[in-house]
């Protein structure tokens, strides 16, 4: 069954939780899609986990199109969302619509995601009017890393929490079909989820959100530069991979591999 924006809305209304993960390439997206994931995000987190940058600011439209297109080929049923990279939508409503259009046309994705509250509502309205569904992203928005002075939990103080709640209401009003809530206290995640009628997708925003999203390398335990508190590792792939590589190196050196089984006779 194809997962759609309309289905995400129905899931919120019926209390069925939405499970999303990130993916940035064909084979990863294909396995996730076959596992039954509801939504896949080609996140600009690819700058960190795929390209090794310290943050997401250097990610380009070309990077997003390159990875978006690769992931799209692996997706049959999931809702595929493509991140708008830093400075592809802030500069003007026109830039935002043109770049959202490129992301959809050149990748085959179904929706775009952008970061921010009231300040990006004109963009959300215009992209939505162009018939491209928009996922909003508020709370700890990584593209604002320098404005925040680091990747820190947002909305801990009463006033800051009220501002994030306002941001949620404004992006809903502007037409966002769902809202990513990143790194906010559990109670704020719950309050926002109650206050808006569109689904909230949490990452470090507690259990009350209508759905959850994690970066796939984080949840597989294959990105160990740092481990945020909200990451649950469902596997330890870097350990598994390292030991496979070591076995291979040893077998090549000891001439165990390739045995005749792996040779053309
Ligand atoms: O880029 C990304 O992976 C994201 C999610 C973590 C929400 O924006
Ligand atoms: Na992102």
Please say if the pLDDT value at position 131 is more than 90: yes
The tokens 């996922």 sit on which residue?
A: 135
Question: Are residues 142 and 257 part of one domain?
Answer: no
Q: What is the pLDDT of residue 258?
A: 98
Q: What is the pLDDT of residue 201?
A: 99
Closest of 235, 49, 146 to residue 41, by C-alpha: 49
Question: Are residues 248 and 185 part of one domain?
Answer: no
- Residue 182 falls in the annotated catalytic set: yes
Q: What is the pLDDT of residue 224?
A: 81
Ligand 2 centre to CA of 159 (Å) is 25
**Residues within 6 Å of ligand 1 by CB:** 22, 41, 43-45, 83, 137, 180, 182, 203, 213, 215
The one catalytic residue in 54, 159, 182, 254 is 182
Q: Rounded to whole angstroms, how far apart are CA atoms 141 and 156?
A: 15
Please say if the pLDDT value at position 157 is more than 90: yes
pLDDT digits (tens, 9 = 90+) for 165-189: 999 999 999 999 999 999 999 999 9
* Banded pLDDT at 223 (limits 50, 70, 90): confident
Domain of residue 265: give its range: 236-265
Q: What is the pLDDT of residue 226?
A: 79
User: Using CA positions, which residue lies closest to atom 2 of ligand 1?
Assistant: 43
pTM as predicted: 0.97
Please say if the pLDDT value at position 225 is more than 90: no
Q: Which ligand is nearest to the CA of 143?
A: 2
- Across the chain, how many H-helices and E-strands are there? 11, 8
Question: Are residues 116 and 66 part of one domain?
Answer: yes
The total number of structural domains that make up the chain: 2
């Amino acid at each position: 069954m194809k997962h759609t924006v309309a289905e995400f809305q129905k899931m919120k209304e019926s209390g069925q939780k939405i499970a999303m993960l990130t993916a940035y390439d064909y084979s990863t997206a294909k396995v996730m899609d076959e596992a039954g994931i509801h939504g896949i995000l080609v996140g600009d987190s690819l700058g960190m986990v795929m390209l090794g940058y310290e943050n997401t600011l250097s990610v380009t439209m070309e990077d997003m199109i390159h990875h978006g297109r690769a992931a799209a080929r692996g997706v049959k049923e999931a809702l595929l969302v493509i991140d708008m990279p830093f400075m592809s939508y802030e500069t003007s409503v026109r830039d935002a619509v043109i770049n959202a259009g490129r992301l959809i046309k050149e990748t085959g994705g179904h929706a775009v995601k952008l970061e921010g509250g009231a300040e990006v509502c004109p963009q959300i309205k215009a992209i939505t009017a162009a018939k491209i569904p928009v996922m909003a992203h508020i709370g700890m928005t990584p593209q604002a890393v320098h404005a925040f002075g680091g990747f820190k939990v947002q909305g801990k103080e009463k006033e800051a929490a009220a501002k994030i709640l306002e941001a949620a209401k404004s992006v809903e009003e502007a037409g966002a079909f769902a809202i990513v809530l990143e790194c906010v206290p559990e109670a704020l995640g719950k309050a926002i989820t109650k206050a808006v009628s569109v689904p909230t997708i949490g990452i470090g925003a507690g259990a009350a959100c209508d759905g959850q999203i994690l970066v796939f390398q984080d949840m597989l335990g294959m990105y160990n530069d740092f481990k945020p508190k909200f990451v649950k590792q469902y596997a330890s792939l870097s350990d598994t991979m390292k030991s496979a590589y070591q076995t291979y190196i040893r077998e090549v050196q000891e001439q165990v591999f390739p045995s005749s089984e792996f040779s053309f006779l």
